[in-house]
Amino acid sequence: MPGTTLRPTCPDRPEAVLHPGTKQPVTPDDLAPLFPMALIMQEVSTEPYIEIPEAIRQIYTQWRPSPLHRAHRLEQALDTPARIYYKYEGVSPVGSHKLNTAVAQVYYNKQEGVKKISTETGAGQWGSALALAGAYFGVEIEIFMVKISYQQKPYRRNMMETYGGIIHASPSDLTNAGRSILAKDPNNQGSLGIAISEAVEVAATSGGTIKYSLGSVLNHVLMHQTIIGEEALKQMALADDYPDVVIGCAGGGSNMAGLIFPFVGEARKKGLKTRFLAAEPMACPSLTKGVYAYDFGDTVGMTPLVKMHTLGHDFIPPGIHAGGLRYHGMSPLVSLLHDTGILEAQAFHQISVFDAAVQFARTEGIIPAPESGHAIRAVINEALEAKEAGQERVILFNLSGHGHFDMGAYEAYFSGKLQDYEYPAEAVASAQQRMPQVV
């Protein structure tokens, strides 16, 4: 089992993370109220690889290495000369890639004596993963779940409870952040930014007894996920093939980065012309419509400032069914790749995404999570472009999770209740005007 790649070979490093009050670069001590020191050191490390501890490796063997499949039946249905491969992370016990970093994060917290962790979750994949990791290591997990997903995805909620997680619909009346949001809008359906504010507040006001855990965006989280791409490099070599384009759905960036970062490093090292593509929802298009600037990671403004593609920290996206892709910002490392032109990005409406997901399910047999459906939409478009051009094209994507707990979304699609939504440009511009000013 390979180690994990800290970051791709970028032309530059991301801008410094800034303290939300002083706007000066944060120190490890500034982050200590939220994270164990081992994860803080991983966040700022410049090492190319970090070894996976044996205790984590032992748990990983339950689903790692995850399989790499060739989508022969989808290729036939599309009548395309393209060769389509997918790395399938739905084989983990929670059904997604999120367990890769959840196990690592809880392990490092446990090593430093932490007994309780707070977190947020959108669609519930991250909350499920952290709840299970908490059960593995005997650490209590408190989860603030975006309210619209809390209502839409009851079985995800039940899954978290089965693993021992304590779940609240966010915004809640349990925190100052939640109460302030509800005072302005009692019917607020929540966002990942709001849920992050609540979870961070719980940790920051605990006097050090509770730590905070994030399922995407941060460097150490993306680094834990690169085991996906490290495995895929070896598996593609066994298949005697290599991708022309590597694709992942993108919300905060973790599953896509997990796959593409090792390939970005290979491409830059060997001078390859591999393309990299992020697929995101039209309703929350941080890469395609966001600005590259410093912003808070949460709605209330408690987190450090990071430079990223953002729609504005108080941007509240509509309640689309791809709940895991509803974050206002994008990982700083992924944002850097996009800003330098290494990473392309496309945004898709959710009906076309479900069209693609259903076609994939009927050919390959796996029902994708709505989030992964965005990657499949991009894959099918690429394969049809290859057909139109009459050229071979090797496509690799990350099927980051299954849709077994998302059948409500599929029911809405089949019944004609699913609607496309494109966030108004003026609303995005308004949210961006309220971002912090960093000189």
pLDDT band at 335 (very low <50, low <70, confident <90, very high): very high
Q: Which residues on neighbouring strands pair with residue 143, listed in sequence order?
A: 119, 167
Give the C-alpha separation, 180 to 203, whole Å.
Answer: 18
Strand order in the sheet with 394-399: 68-70, 83-88, 394-399, 245-249, 275-281, 343-348
Residue 2, pLDDT > 80, answer: no
Average pLDDT value for the chain:
92
3-state secondary structure of 416: coil
Helix (H) or strand (E) holding 38: helix 37-44
**pLDDT of 161-217, one tens digit each?**
999 999 999 999 999 999 999 999 999 999 888 999 999 999 999 998 999 999 999
Give the C-alpha separation, 247 to 439, whole Å.
Answer: 35
In the chain, % of residues over pLDDT 90? 76
Give the C-alpha separation, 337 to 344, whole Å.
Answer: 9
The pLDDT value recorded for residue 1 is: 63
The pLDDT value recorded for residue 192 is: 85
Average pLDDT, stretch 241-250? Answer: 98
Average pLDDT, stretch 236-249? Answer: 98
Q: Which fold has domain 97-217?
A: Rossmann fold (3.40.50)
Nearest CA to 331 among 174, 176, 222?
Answer: 222
The conformational region for residue 203 under phi > 0 = left, psi -120 to 50 = alpha, else beta, is alpha
The pLDDT value recorded for residue 323 is: 60
pLDDT band at 322 (very low <50, low <70, confident <90, very high): low
pLDDT band at 88 (very low <50, low <70, confident <90, very high): very high
**pLDDT of 350-362, one tens digit each?**
999 999 999 999 9
**pLDDT of 20-38, one tens digit each?**
889 999 999 999 999 999 9
Give the burial class of 240: count Cβ atoms within 10 A of its Cβ; 0-12 exposed, 13-18 middle, 19 or more buried: exposed
Residue 93, token pair as written in the block: 């016990």
Dihedral of the alpha carbons of 373, 378, 383, 387, in degrees to the nearest 10: 130
**pLDDT of 110-147, one tens digit each?**
999 999 999 999 888 999 999 999 999 999 999 999 99
Domain residue ranges of the chain, discontinuous segments joined by +: 54-95+220-433, 97-217
Query: What's CA 298's distance to the chain center, in Å?
Result: 15
The pLDDT value recorded for residue 434 is: 87
In 252-261, which positions are buried (b, 16+ CB within 10 angstroms) versus exposed (e)?
A: bbbbbbbbbb
Question: Is pTM beyond 0.75 here?
Answer: yes
The pLDDT value recorded for residue 8 is: 62
**pLDDT of 278-319, one tens digit each?**
999 998 899 999 999 999 988 888 888 999 999 998 887 766
Residue keyed to tokens 């995407």: 216
Average pLDDT, stretch 397-416? Answer: 94
In the chain, % of residues over pLDDT 70? 95
Residue 303, C-beta contacts closer than 8 angstroms, at least 6 positions apart: 20, 196, 197, 200, 296, 297
The pLDDT value recorded for residue 7 is: 56
According to DSSP, residue 33 is labeled T
The pLDDT value recorded for residue 264 is: 95
Same fold: 54-95+220-433 with 97-217: yes
Highest mean pLDDT among 204-208, 216-220, 378-382, 427-431: 378-382
Average pLDDT, stretch 263-276? Answer: 94
Q: What's at 156, amino acid-wise?
A: R
Q: Which fold has domain 54-95+220-433?
A: Rossmann fold (3.40.50)
Angle between helices 192-204 and 176-184 (to 10 degrees): 150
The pLDDT value recorded for residue 11 is: 58
Give the C-alpha separation, 315 to 295, whole Å.
Answer: 12
